């Protein structure tokens, strides 16, 4: 057997790493790609490297691991090649690793440095980062905000006065007691918080300094700060494929499709993603479904790690933990990934399970990505819609589709605040700013119910939050014989999806869901407002107010109610009817 178009057809059009295996399951070659399917397809003739025909001839299976961006794919490729040392890989076997920041937290006065080695010495390591030059530039940038010492311990212990770094503002001078221990520890904590991914504070400070330098016509200094900001943005991108933990970990995620379930397993060794497995099982509704999947996986001879993360923690997990602990010879913990790196790894595992389990009929997400020129499959789509009546009781809704199916547990209502009149654009800006400012997972595609005006409002919010990487499309309702039109940022003409296509039906479904959810909430608020209004009538409580509202719903102007309109209304006496009519007459 050899590499065939049928094998390639099952690969996703996503960024990631591919592993080419022979009949014995051995890895022949590991590579990275922006589009996995296109890259592997090149092995059938377009790739002219001398070893490609030998790889294609021996390859019977192609596994893959999807990543969030090309930089993650580069790091992951490097790690996997160093771990497995495939026969046909030659470029990355030299043992060279990427640079990291090291903070010696166990010392009395912690030191920051750049290293290529990760030791089990109790220090904190952050990275890896692809460019050593950009990382050193970043160290100079953060040194002005977090001035930790850089000198080695032998130099630090023998100094009597501060060194040059203190003179230029890159060190706080702990060697000469120029800073208190309490303040120094606070700087260390702030720096660790920043390196864990909270770098907005530093960027904001640098941008302010750049603007001040430019205002003073100190353009050389402004240019240096601009380069520092660029170095931070280019280097300190949060990486999913590398963590800070040294505990061996497996991550299990499941993707259900009709009668089958695709299970993806990611292996993390010493904080690094080293391998992945994928297998298919029959879909059942058994309570112990995931328990059996995990147990069978390790009974086949796979090494049991200390920690296992599962997207659904199975019932009776204590018994499974005991069995796996006996197999390993030490305690094994099964958990749900709720935050930090485990949560990011789980997201990657889910994406891999979904891509491995994708059938021909689930290619609708691929079609949407292709029509809207997206860099990846829109696994999580969020649609927003505004609903109001002449500016009264304005509300918004969010409908969420995950993997092409509605996930109503993620639907949300929003009350519009502080906007007078029918200003749909301002309302949309407010809702999107509230949604994207939170900690919830980011969408793969934002769908806005509206035209170019709503699209511009959304683009404005994304730019202000620094989230222009999130794709957005505005969906304009058809008028007369027109079809649904889709507007994209930076594109003048609308995109028209093929009639009766699955991609068009999917977009119409999520639009209709958002509209239905918004209108129902708007009607609820209006009816509750009218009910509260009726309750202000003496002798009319909540029950009678609801009865009046339902009995007179067909009357467009309640102020013109007549006695016969209220006849037969449940719970109302003749005296109540007189009070209601008198109340409306007094209002007029």
Domain boundary among 317, 336, 356: 356
Joined together, the tokens standing for residue 121 give 């010495």
- The answer on 347 and 374 residing in a single domain is no
- The answer on 556 and 497 residing in a single domain is no
Q: What is the mean pLDDT of residues 79-94?
A: 68
Beta-bridge mates of residue 277: 265
Whether residue 128 has a cis bond before it, omega within 30° of 0: yes
**Where is average pLDDT lowest: 23-37, 119-133, 306-320, 415-429?**
119-133
Predicted confidence (pLDDT) per residue in 441-484, tens digit: 888 899 998 888 889 999 999 999 888 889 999 998 776 656 88
CATH label of the domain that carries residue 516: 3.30.420.340
- The answer on 134 and 72 residing in a single domain is no
Q: CA 28, CA 47: separation in Å to the nearest integer?
A: 16
Burial class of 316 by CB neighbour count within 10 A (0 to 12, 13 to 18, 19+): exposed
> Has residue 349 got a pLDDT over 90?
no
Residue 196 belongs to some domain of the structure: yes
Q: What is the mean pLDDT of residues 5-24?
A: 88
> Has residue 171 got a pLDDT over 80?
yes
- The answer on 302 and 168 residing in a single domain is no
- The answer on 230 and 106 residing in a single domain is yes
Global pTM reads 0.37
Residue 530 belongs to some domain of the structure: no
* Residue 401 confidence (pLDDT): 92
Contact criterion met (CB below 8 Å) for 113 and 150? yes
* Residue 447 confidence (pLDDT): 93
Distances in Å between the Cα of 501 and the Cα atoms of 12, 365, 498, 507 are 20, 12, 5, 10
- The answer on 401 and 309 residing in a single domain is no
For residue 498, give the DSSP letter. Answer: P
- The answer on 321 and 253 residing in a single domain is yes
**Where is average pLDDT lowest: 42-51, 207-216, 241-250, 508-517?**
241-250
Q: CA 264, CA 258: separation in Å to the nearest integer?
A: 17
- The answer on 112 and 80 residing in a single domain is no
Number of neighbouring beta carbons within 10 Å of residue 247: 13
Residue 391's pLDDT band (cuts 50, 70, 90): very low
Q: What percent of the chain has pLDDT over 70?
A: 74
- The answer on 481 and 400 residing in a single domain is yes
How many domains does one find in the chain? 5
Phi, psi of 566 (to 5 degrees): -100, 0
356 vs 33 pLDDT, higher one: 33
Phi, psi of 181 (to 5 degrees): -65, -40
Domain boundary among 32, 53, 84: 84
Predicted confidence (pLDDT) per residue in 124-154, tens digit: 887 666 556 667 777 776 777 678 888 888 8
- The answer on 509 and 436 residing in a single domain is yes
**Where is average pLDDT lowest: 162-176, 263-277, 408-422, 496-510?**
263-277
Burial class of 229 by CB neighbour count within 10 A (0 to 12, 13 to 18, 19+): middle
414 vs 543 pLDDT, higher one: 414
CATH label of the domain that carries residue 35: 3.40.1440.10
Residue 298 belongs to some domain of the structure: yes
Residue with tokens 């995950």: 402
- Report the chain's mean pLDDT, rounded to a whole number: 77
- The answer on 511 and 383 residing in a single domain is yes
Range of the domain at 191: 102-235
- The answer on 408 and 555 residing in a single domain is no
Residue 240 belongs to some domain of the structure: no
Predicted confidence (pLDDT) per residue in 228-282, tens digit: 677 556 544 444 445 555 678 888 888 766 567 788 888 887 666 666 777 777 6
């Amino acid at each position: 057997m050899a590499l065939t178009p049928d094998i390639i057809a099952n690969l996703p059009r996503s960024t990631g790493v591919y592993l080419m295996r022979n009949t014995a399951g051995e890895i022949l070659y590991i590579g990275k790609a922006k589009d996995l399917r296109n890259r592997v397809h090149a092995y059938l003739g377009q790739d002219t490297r001398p070893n490609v025909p030998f790889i294609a001839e021996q390859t019977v299976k192609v596994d893959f691991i999807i990543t969030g961006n090309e930089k993650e794919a580069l790091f992951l490729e490097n790690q996997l090649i160093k771990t497995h040392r495939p026969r046909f890989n030659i470029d990355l076997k030299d043992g060279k690793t990427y640079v990291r920041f090291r903070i010696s937290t166990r010392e009395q006065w912690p030191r920051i440095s750049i290293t290529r080695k990760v030791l089990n010495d109790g220090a904190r390591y952050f990275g890896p980062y692809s460019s050593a030059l950009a990382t050193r530039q970043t160290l100079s940038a953060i040194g002005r905000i977090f001035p930790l010492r850089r000198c080695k311990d032998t130099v630090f212990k023998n100094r009597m006065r501060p060194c040059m770094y203190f003179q230029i503002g890159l060190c706080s001078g702990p060697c000469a007691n120029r800073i208190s221990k309490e303040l120094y520890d606070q700087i260390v904590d702030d720096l660790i918080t920043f390196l864990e991914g909270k770098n907005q504070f530093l960027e904001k400070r640098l941008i302010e300094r750049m603007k001040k330098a430019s205002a003073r016509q100190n353009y050389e200094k402004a240019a240096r700060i601009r380069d520092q900001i660029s170095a931070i943005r280019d280097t300190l991108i949060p990486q999913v494929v590398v963590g800070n933990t040294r505990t061996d970990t497996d991550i299990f995620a499941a993707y259900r499709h009709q009668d089958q379930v695709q299970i993806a397993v990611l292996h993390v060794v010493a904080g690094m993603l080293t391998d992945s497995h994928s297998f298919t099982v029959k879909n059942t509704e058994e309570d112990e479904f995931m328990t059996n999947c995990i147990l069978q996986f390790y009974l086949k001879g796979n090494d049991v790690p200390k920690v296992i993360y599962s997207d659904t923690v199975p019932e009776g997990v204590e018994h499974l933990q005991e069995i796996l602990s006996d197999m390993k010879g030490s305690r094994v913990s099964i958990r749900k990934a709720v935050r930090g790196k485990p949560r990011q790894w789980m997201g990657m595992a889910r994406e891999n399970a979904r891509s491995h389990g994708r059938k021909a009929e689930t290619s609708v997400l691929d079609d949407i990505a292709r029509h809207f020129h997206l860099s990846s499959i829109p696994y999580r789509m969020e649609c927003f819609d505004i609903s109001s009546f002449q500016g009264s009781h304005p509300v918004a809704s969010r409908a969420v589709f995950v993997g092409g199916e509605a996930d109503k547990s993620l639907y949300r209502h929003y009350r519009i605040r502080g906007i007078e009149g029918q200003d749909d654009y301002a309302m949309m800006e407010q809702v999107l700013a509230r949604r994207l400012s939170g900690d919830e997972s980011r969408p793969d595609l934002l769908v806005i119910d509206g035209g170019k005006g709503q699209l511009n409002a959304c683009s404005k919010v994304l730019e202000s939050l620094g989230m222009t990487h999130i794709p957005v499309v505005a969906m304009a309702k058809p008028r007369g014989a027109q079809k649904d039109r889709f507007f994209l940022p930076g594109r003048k003409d609308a995109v028209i999806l093929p009639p009766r296509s699955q991609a068009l039906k999917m977009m119409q479904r999520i639009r209709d869901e958002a509209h239905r959810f918004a209108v129902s909430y708007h009607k609820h608020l209006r009816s509750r407002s009218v009910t509260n209004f009726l309750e202000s009538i003496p002798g009319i409580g909540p029950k009678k107010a609801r009865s009046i509202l339902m009995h007179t719903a067909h009357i467009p102007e309640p102020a013109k109610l007549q006695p016969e309109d209220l006849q037969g209304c449940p719970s109302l006496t003749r005296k109540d009817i007189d009070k209601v009519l008198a109340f409306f007459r007094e209002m007029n």
